[in-house]
Amino acid sequence: MREKIIVADTSILICFAAAKKLSLLKKLAGKLIIPQAVYEEIAVKGKPGEYEVMASDWIEVKAIKGIEEMQKLPQHLGRGEKEAIALAGEIDGFLLIDDPSGRREAERQGIEFVGTLGILQEAQAKRVIYKIKPILDELITSGLRIHPKLYKEFLEKIGE
């Protein structure tokens, strides 16, 4: 994940913050870039991760330059997703995003991305964590939505 600048969408940050696992993202990414809309969705609205985003020296807020490009993104995407996708495209960044519509749009634009499950696999591969299931369960308890079938298939695939 460190080869490129990492851009994060709101839901990933909120989920990891609610489960008290933002340090895992810091260990993997070193530094995160978030667009203004993601900052506002977390810090201004008082979501989990508010303090970490406001006080962190490893999370940087960056304005997008291509407002016109962002406005061309599908209307059903939220502002945070649109800005995260646009910013990742502008800086050739690697996007952290769980939203299926946002992931489809990132793929359509040729932006590399990964979601929560991919982050956990990377953390295990880099020996930041040893077991995925306990952390995944904490994330689910803290609000991560994952279809039971995907949960089961994922754990079978990784042998947990």
Q: Both ends of the chain: CA-CA distance in Å?
A: 23
**131 is a domain residue:** no
What's the predicted TM-score (pTM) here?
A: 0.88
Spacing of C-alpha 42 from chain mean position: 13
Q: Can you give the three-state secondary structure of 106-144, one letter per residue? A: HHHCCCCEECHHHHHHHHHHCCCCCCCHHHHHHHHHCCC
**14 is a domain residue:** yes
Q: How many domains does the chain have?
A: 1
**124 is a domain residue:** no
**125 is a domain residue:** no
Contact criterion met (CB below 8 Å) for 118 and 126:
no
Q: Would you give the DSSP letter of residue 3? A: T
Range of the domain at 86: 6-115
Q: What is the pLDDT of residues 105-154, one digit of tens each?
A: 999 999 999 999 999 999 999 999 999 999 999 999 998 999 999 999 99
**108 is a domain residue:** yes
**38 is a domain residue:** yes
Name which residue leads in pLDDT, 69 or 36.
Answer: 36
Residue 42 sits in a domain whose CATH number is: 3.40.50.1010
